[in-house]
Amino acid sequence: MDERLVFALISPCEYPILTLKLHMKRPLLIFLLTLLYACDFSGPSLATEKERKAAMQAAVFDQQIISGVSRYNDLRDFLLRYADTILAYRNASNYVIEIGGNTTDTVLQSSECYTFFQGNANNDITNVPDFLKLKLDSLYHDLGEGNVMSFTICENKKLNIQVKNETVGNGLYISHELLWNDKIRRDYGFDDNRDSLIAENCIYRLGLREEHGH
C-alpha cells in the first residue's frame, strides 16, 4: 500500500509509531516501542492519607529549638517594632512579574503579610527601608546557618519564623516554625500541623506539606 494513503487513513497521533514501523528494522523497532510504553508520563504520585498521617505522627519537636528559643527574641522584637514601617514600604513598592525570564508586568504590591527569605529579588531580606537593612541582615545571620529559613510579618503583628524543613519521603516535608501573636491549634485527630506553647506568646508548630519536582 502507498505510504501516503496509509498516513491519510490514520490519526495524526499515530504518525510517529507508523513511521517507526515503516522505516526501522524489526529488532530495533521492538526495542524502541518497549521503551516508549514503559515510560510513565503521569508524573509523581501524591502521598496517601496513610503516609501523611504516619509522617505527622512520627514528627517530633526539636529540643534544641525549644531550649534556644530566646535567641530569636532580638529578631522578633526588631520585626514587631518595625512591622508597620516594613509593610508600608512593601505596599508602596512595585512588584515585577516575570515569565520565562522576561518581564511581563509591573504592579503595585498590596498585602496584609509579607514573607522574606534570601535568593529572590522580590522577597529578599534586603527588600526593606534602607535604614533597617544592616540591622536586619545582622540579626538574621547572627542566628547562624540552619537556624532560620524565612520569616513572615503581618499587619496584625502576627510573626512566623520558619526555622527548618525536614524531608520525610515521597514529597513530604515537616516544617519547624515559631509563631508569635497567633492562636494555638489543638486537633487531637490527624491534622497537617501540631502546636506546642513553648514560651510566653510563642507557639512551636510542626507543619506537614507536600511538594514534588516539576
Instruction: Tell the residue number behind the cell numbers 532580638, with chain if given.
Output: 74
Residue 48 backbone phi and psi in degrees, to 5: -80, 165
Percentage helix, strand, coil, to 5, in the chain?
Answer: 40, 25, 35
Q: Which three cell numbers stand for residue 131?
A: 535604614
pLDDT truncated to tens, each residue of the chain (214 aa)? Answer: 544 544 444 455 554 554 545 455 556 656 655 665 555 555 667 888 888 888 988 999 999 999 999 999 999 999 999 999 999 999 887 666 666 666 566 666 678 999 999 888 778 999 999 999 999 999 999 999 889 999 999 999 999 999 999 998 888 999 999 999 998 876 544 567 889 999 989 999 999 988 876 5
* Cβ–Cβ < 8 Å for 124, 150: no
Sign of CA dihedral 73, 153, 56, 143: negative
Instruction: Report the predicted TM-score, pTM, of the whole model to 2 decimal places.
Output: 0.72
* Cell representation of residue 87: 509593610
The grid coordinates of residue 165 equal 524543613
